[in-house]
Structure formats: C-alpha cells, structure tokens
Chains A and B, each alone.
Chain A
C-alpha cells in the first residue's frame, strides 16, 4: 500500500481517534509540551534579552548563548538531561522532563537574540528624546523600546515555536507521547498507516502553527499601525537574514 492511501485509511479509521492513543489526545500532549517549554524559555529569555538590549550590557553573553544554543543537537541535549532528570524523578524524568527541558533550552536562543536585537535596533534618537522628556529607564523600555521592537520580538517567539513543535516529535524516542509516538510506534510495529498518518499530522501541525503565528504577527503589526498612525513608520528591520532553524 502506498504511503498516502495507508495514511488516509488510518486517519479515516474511527479507532485512531479514540482512547489513550487517540489522535486528539496526542495532539493535545504535543501542543501542551510545546507551549510549556515555550513559556519556560520566554520567562528566562525575554527579560534577559530586553535588559541586554536596553543596557547594552552582556551583549557578548547573548551572542555566546545564541551560538552555542544553535549548535547543540536537540537529541544530544535530551540524552544529556535524561540521567539527571531520571535521578530526580524516575517516571516523569524519563518520559517528560528531558524533552520538556531540552525544548525549553533550545527555544532560549531565538527569543533572547530577537528581544536583544529588537530593542538594540530602536533608533537612539527616539530613546534620547524619551529620556529628555523625563522618562525613567524602566518607562523607556516599557513605553518606547518594547513597542517599537515588538515585531522583531514576536518573530523570535515564532521561530522558537516552530522549532519547539518540530522537536517535540523527537521526544517519542524517549517515550514521550505527542505525535512522534505514532512515528516511533509505526516503525516498531511496521504499521505503515500509523507511521504515515503520524507524518501527515506532524507536518500539518508544523505548518499550521507557523501559519497561526504569522497571523498573530500581522495582527500585531496592523494594530500598531492603527493605534499609532502618526508614528514615523519604521518597524525595525528583521533581526538577521540568516535562517533561524
């Protein structure tokens, strides 16, 4: 049977949609761990990136974290984390935490770099003007720099999210659920329908989440345009021309 009809048959089977191994549950697991790791990463990376961008202190650190973070293969990181998390919690330390933490760690660089670059690229004259108007540093960051840097900041969150959704699939190697489960189990049980159905679902989820985030980005950009029509239009340029993934 060819991959497409195998996947169609499996996806069309009501049994695939029910129970603890059902598609809705696996999608939920996949999205839950993705969202959790993204939130964890953002809690660390956003404040750090904004601070570095505003104060220009620790730029070398940000660049270093970005370069090292980009170079670490996710599966190797999961392997490194596994014995540590398992020592803490034998069950979840095997099934959940290595994947969750590896995803969170790998989501830090794109969020950090874009938060930093977005704020650092804000026109120095605008910041000076705000300072001359008597705004305190915290107010400058909140009222001037962050709004101007928002498209770049959101772009960082978007690349992190896309990467995280893809990495969650690999979690199945370590026994995590999510959609990668179908691929790992499909291979192990030689069930082509499950394997190719799983591939289709992962692809749909990846494309879907990227499309959704692009929409969010457009929405934010448009809202800014409507609320601040007289603002000298100059959304900071994209952080870099190099691909994020």
Chain B
C-alpha cells in the first residue's frame, strides 16, 4: 500500500517543505494581521470607513485562489511576492471582519465606565476595548491560519519552489503515487490542526479572566 522506505528517504525533504509551508503561512498571517489591525481600529473609530474596506475584502474573497496566484505571475514574476500577496489578501477578509466585530462587541456600559474613569481614547482602546475583543480576534486568527495553510498548498500550482507540503500532493497526483500524496496531505492537515490548537492556547493565555467561567464552544 504505502511505500514506507520512500517516506524514510524523503524525511529531509519533508522537513524542508514543512519549513517552507510554515514560513509562507507565518509571513502572511503577520502582515495580514498588522494591516487588518490598523484598518480595523480605524474602521471602529470612524464607522464610515468600514463599508468600503469590507466591500474590498468581500470582492477579494470571490476571486478563486487558483486564479489569483497565477494572475500575479506577469506582474511579480515567480518571486515570493507572487505567493504572499494572495495569501495576505485572503487573511484580510477574515481578520478585518473579526477585529471590527470584536471591538464592536464590547458592551456600551463598559466603554462608558472607562470614560467615566477618565480613560483617554487610546488608553481605553488598549486597556479595555482590545482585551475584551481578544476572543473574536483570536477566533479570526484561528480561521485565518487554517485557511492560509490550505492556500499555501494551492500556491504549489505556481511551481516546485512554492506550495510547501503541497509540492508532494501535486507531484504525487501527477505521478499517480499515493504514498507521496499522503506524505503531503497528512502533514498539511496536522499543521492546520496544530495551528488551530495553538490559537486556542493563545486565547486562554491572553484572557485569564475568562478561564474560570470557560465553557466549551464551537468557535
């Protein structure tokens, strides 16, 4: 069934491709989060700025990933930008929506209490609103990390120097070699599940006050 010898021989390549997969994912998440954070805070303070940003992000989301990667080749060549620009754009859709929803979920009373205690706008944002928005922001990061890990695979359609673990999936399909498909697909799923768990852990560390009354939830 599975060619274990082949797998053993290719462990160094697996490590290499996993590293690339993580690198592409982390870069996309960090840049995507920074952009979404700035835009999200602006959109929270000036609500008029939100609809254009949301529409832009929504339009991006309807463009199939398969097409977005290759559409950039004529412009950016086969550089890391060709992979990262779509990856970052797709994270924006998820992260921006959750950052704004998180900030807006802060109860009015709490915001007024902070005002009453003499908090300035910036201090209120950093000390009160952002901490209370953490659960929704982290929920966004969970979804974004998982979706990015999947999209990195699709970037493998650009060529063998991209795609991380997707390399094995595509080459395995091309060669009709199941072992190689699994060699890419199973670690990809493990990576996605690990990223999901990682952000659950981040959330529970970042919101110590919610742990005492924590209940299992789907999100």
Q: Whole-angstrom distance between the alpha carbons of A75 and B166 in the complex?
A: 9
Q: Flag if B66 contacts A173 (CB, 8 Å).
A: yes
Q: Flag if A242 contacts B136 (CB, 8 Å).
A: yes
B216's nearest neighbour on chain A, judged by CB, is A63
Q: Flag if A196 contacts B146 (CB, 8 Å).
A: no
A174 contacts B by Cβ under 8 Å: yes
Q: How far, in Å, is B180 (CB) from chain A's closest CB? A: 9
Q: Flag if B181 contacts A75 (CB, 8 Å).
A: no
Q: Which residues of B contact A241 (CB under 8 A)?
A: 101, 105, 136, 219
A166 contacts B by Cβ under 8 Å: yes
A170 contacts B by Cβ under 8 Å: yes
Q: Which residues of B contact A76 (CB under 8 A)?
A: 150, 153, 169, 184-186, 188-189, 192
With A202-B64, A243-B98 as contacts: A67 and B218 at CB distance below 8 Å: yes
Q: Whole-angstrom distance between the alpha carbons of A169 and B184 in the complex?
A: 21
Q: Flag if B218 contacts A113 (CB, 8 Å).
A: yes
Q: How far, in Å, is B89 (CB) from chain A's closest CB? A: 14
Q: Whole-angstrom distance between the alpha carbons of A82 and B172 in the complex?
A: 10
With beta carbons under 8 angstroms apart, the residue of A70, A71, A80 that contacts B185 is A80
Q: Flag if A75 contacts B173 (CB, 8 Å).
A: no
With A73-B189, A243-B97 as contacts: A207 and B136 at CB distance below 8 Å: no
Q: Flag if A173 contacts B157 (CB, 8 Å).
A: yes
A135 contacts B by Cβ under 8 Å: no
With beta carbons under 8 angstroms apart, the residue of B71, B136, B178, B195 that contacts A3 is B71
Which of A141-149, A180-188, A224-232 touches B? A180-188
Q: Whole-angstrom distance between the alpha carbons of A77 and B94 in the complex?
A: 22
With beta carbons under 8 angstroms apart, the residue of B67, B140, B151, B192 that contacts A71 is B192
Q: How far, in Å, is A203 (CB) from chain B's closest CB? A: 4
Q: Which residues of A contact B166 (CB under 8 A)?
A: 75
Q: Flag if B147 contacts A245 (CB, 8 Å).
A: yes
Number of interface residues of A (CB under 8 A): 45
Q: How far, in Å, is A63 (CB) from chain B's closest CB? A: 5
Q: Which residues of A contact B151 (CB under 8 A)?
A: 73
B13 contacts A by Cβ under 8 Å: no
Q: Flag if A195 contacts B192 (CB, 8 Å).
A: no
A133 contacts B by Cβ under 8 Å: no
A199 contacts B by Cβ under 8 Å: yes
Q: Whole-angstrom distance between the alpha carbons of A82 and B173 in the complex?
A: 8
With A76-B153, A82-B173 as contacts: A199 and B181 at CB distance below 8 Å: no
Q: Give B146-182 interface residues, CB cut-off 8 Å to A.
A: 146-147, 149-151, 153-154, 157, 166, 169-170, 172-173, 178, 181-182
Q: Whole-angstrom distance between the alpha carbons of A184 and B66 in the complex?
A: 8
Q: Whole-angstrom distance between the alpha carbons of A113 and B217 in the complex?
A: 11
B62 contacts A by Cβ under 8 Å: yes
Q: Whole-angstrom distance between the alpha carbons of A77 and B149 in the complex?
A: 13
A175's nearest neighbour on chain B, judged by CB, is B173
B contact set with A: CB distance below 8 Å: 61-64, 66-67, 70-71, 94, 97-98, 101, 105, 136, 139-140, 143, 146-147, 149-151, 153-154, 157, 166, 169-170, 172-173, 178, 181-182, 184-186, 188-189, 192-193, 195-196, 216-219
A contact set with B: CB distance below 8 Å: 3, 59-60, 62-63, 66-68, 70-77, 79-80, 82-83, 113, 117, 166, 169-170, 172-174, 180, 183-184, 187, 195-196, 198-199, 202-203, 206-207, 240-243, 245
A to B CB contacts below 8 Å, 14 in the list: A67-B196, A71-B189, A74-B150, A76-B153, A76-B185, A79-B172, A79-B181, A79-B184, A80-B185, A187-B70, A195-B71, A202-B62, A203-B62, A207-B62
- Nearest 5 pairs between A and B by C-beta? A73-B150, A83-B178, A79-B185, A76-B185, A242-B219
